């Protein structure tokens, strides 16, 4: 088996993991219309090839048409243990998470393939735009050379505490200081920036301006 974990919104532009030989793919699905909610509850996604379908936990919802030819979603497959032998069930989904899943499905239905592609592309362009501005300022340098989606690492040449204070004063959430969680040598003053579609070009210019002061 080959497993992969992919950022959900990135799949709007990337080739599907299944097309690259992946058997199982999973990831965070907060990007699909969920609020940040101070860390949760969120959604996740899990997909696999048809041969492993019966090993999936939860309930499988499929798409079909009703008697009037309208597009509908129906319960295609569910483990009977969820109803009659709960102690042997592989999963039980509570109402709260069911509501989150419903919201994500509504978001995906409204966005469609083209909408997801546009949002994904916006994430990529915005993240690379900000990285370029910060590197040009001379106040940051790359830590690693690698392709990225909407998160990237840069090493600050100035005090991280001062930069964070400036951003907070201007109503921007500061980047994550990696050394708080990873103690390896060389990660001091390394910051993880995340850029999404909610930030406008003006926002990105303002962030770069603040960090270049």
Distance of alpha carbon 72 from alpha carbon 67, whole angstroms: 10
**Domain positions in the chain:** 117-212
Report yes or no on whether pTM surpasses 0.75: yes
CATH code of 117-212, in short, is: 3.90.1150.10
**Residue count (the chain):** 213
Count CB atoms within 10 A of the CB of residue 93.
Answer: 13
Strands 59-65 and 44-48: unpaired
Tell which residue, 143, 145, 136, has the closest CA to residue 175.
143
**Contact between residue 22 and residue 9 where contact means Cβ atoms under 8 Å apart:** no
Question: What tens digit of pLDDT does each residue of 168-211 get?
Answer: 999 999 999 998 998 888 888 999 999 999 999 999 999 999 99
Distance of alpha carbon 124 from alpha carbon 96, whole angstroms: 32
Question: What tens digit of pLDDT does each residue of 98-128 get?
Answer: 788 888 989 998 999 999 999 999 999 999 9
Question: What tens digit of pLDDT does each residue of 31-61 get?
Answer: 998 887 777 778 888 889 988 887 777 778 8
């Amino acid at each position: 088996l080959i497993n992969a974990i992919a950022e959900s919104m990135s799949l709007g532009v990337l080739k599907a993991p299944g097309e690259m030989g992946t058997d199982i793919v999973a990831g965070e699905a907060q990007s699909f219309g969920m609020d940040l909610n101070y860390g949760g509850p969120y959604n996740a996604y899990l997909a696999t090839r048809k041969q492993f379908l019966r090993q999936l936990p939860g309930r499988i919802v499929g798409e079909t048409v009703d008697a009037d030819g309208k597009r509908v979603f129906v319960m295609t497959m569910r483990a009977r243990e969820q109803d009659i032998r709960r102690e042997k069930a592989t999963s039980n989904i509570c109402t709260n998470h069911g509501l989150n899943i419903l919201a994500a499905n509504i978001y995906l239905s409204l966005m469609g393939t083209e909408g997801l592609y546009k949002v994904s592309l916006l994430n990529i362009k915005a993240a690379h735009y900000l990285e370029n501005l910060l590197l040009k300022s001379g106040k940051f340098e790359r830590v690693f050379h690698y392709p990225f989606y909407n998160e990237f690492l840069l090493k600050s040449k100035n005090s991280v505490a001062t930069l964070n204070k400036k951003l907070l004063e201007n109503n921007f959430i500061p980047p994550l200081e990696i050394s708080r969680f990873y103690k390896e040598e060389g990660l001091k003053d390394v910051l993880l920036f995340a850029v999404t579609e909610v930030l406008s070009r003006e926002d990105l210019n303002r962030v770069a301006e603040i960090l270049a002061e």
